[in-house]
Amino acid sequence: MEKIGKRFEGKVVIVTASTQGIGFSIAERLGFEGASVVISSRKQKNVDEAVKKLSNEGIEVLGLVCHVSNAQERKNLIQKTIQDAAPYLKKGSSVVLISSVAGFSPPALMGMYGVTKTALFGLTKALASEMSPHTRVNCVAPGFVPTHFTDFITKNEHLRRGIEGETLLNRLGTTQDMAGAVAYLASDDAAYVTGETLVVAGGMHSRL
The domain that holds 128 is classified in CATH as: 3.40.50.720
- The domain total for the chain is 2
Same domain, 3 and 43: yes
DSSP run (H or E) holding 88: none
| Domain assignment of residue 106, yes or no | no
pLDDT (tens digit, 0 to 9) for every residue of the chain, 208 residues total? 555 778 999 899 999 999 999 999 999 999 999 999 999 999 999 999 999 999 999 999 999 999 888 889 988 998 888 887 666 555 555 677 887 654 444 444 334 444 556 677 788 899 999 999 999 999 998 888 988 877 887 788 898 999 999 999 999 999 999 999 999 999 999 999 999 999 999 998 765 5
The answer to whether 179 and 122 are in contact (CB under 8 A) is: no
What CA–CA distance (Å, rounded) separates 51 from 62?
A: 7
Structural domain that includes position 95: 1-100
**Shared domain check, 116 and 84:** no
Contacts of 57 (CB under 8 A, 6+ apart): 28, 31, 32
Question: What distances in angstroms separate CA 130 from CA 78, 122, 127, 135, 136, one per listed residue?
Answer: 19, 12, 5, 9, 10
Task: Considering the candidates 88, 113, 184, 192, report the single residue annotated as catalytic.
Answer: 113
The CA distance from 206 to 100, in Å, is: 19
Q: Is 192 one of the catalytic residues?
A: no
DSSP code of residue 107 = P
